[in-house]
Amino acid sequence: MNKRSGINSKKRILDAALKVFSEYGYKGASMRMIASTARISIGGVYLYFANKEELYLTLIKERLDDFSAQVKTSISEIEDPVKAISSFIMMYLEYAKTHKELILTQGREHGFAFAIDIKREFFKEQRGIIEGIVARGIQSGVFTECNAKEVTKIIMGTMRGFILSIVVDPDNLFSPKECCRLMLGGLLKRTNRAEGEKVRR
């Protein structure tokens, strides 16, 4: 494993870091674990990343940007607020399932004010997107009159809850489809039949 292999090394390290950080958390993951998973020496890791923190931050930033881009492209052109919200929920949960619990690694360690600026930025953006959809829905009379900001926070909360559930109670994850249904239709019975049907599809 020498010379030209260096082209892949950085990527291999990042892949390994994702795996190890996800499984053991920031403190629990050791640089040696990451190195051996990436099939490189400990010293080799420090060739590409100055220290553990930089490696971790690079990883988080990479993932957040990737996710952010995916959200944008997947719902930017959807006009219908109902479809837009549904799409957001579906894609968020699908992404969370695929990329498991890296997101959870954030927050926990360091007294949880770690990559706070990067995260804040990300969350703010996400909130902006949903809030826009909700506001549009209210304005067009499709959604009930409510506090768009609060509803947005609740939706984001539920998404986060899904992520936490993956880690804590993976045998009992809720279905994205049912989640859309509940968020849109609510638990209380509707007397108007047409509405009920709209929700169901």
Q: Which residues of this protein are in contact with a second copy, per CB under 8 A? A: 23-28, 82, 85, 101, 104-112, 119-120, 123, 127, 134, 137, 141-147, 150-151, 153-154, 156-165, 167-169, 172-175, 178-179, 181-192, 195-196, 198-199
85 vs 100: CA distance, rounded Å: 22
Q: Who's near 113: CB < 8 A, 6+ residues apart?
A: none
Counting every residue, how long is the chain? 201
The CA-to-CA distance between both ends of the chain, in Å, stands at 54
Residue 18 binding result from a second copy, DNA, none, given CB thresholds of 5 to 8 Å by partner type: none
| Both tokens assigned to 175 | 């279905």
Closest distance to a second copy from the beta carbon of 172 (Å) = 5
CB of 12 to DNA, least distance (A): 8
* Least distance to a second copy, CB of residue 181, Å: 7
Q: At what angle do helices 81-98 and 52-75 cross, to 10 degrees?
A: 150
Residues making contact with DNA (CB under 7 A): 1-7, 9, 29-33, 39-44, 46-47, 50-53
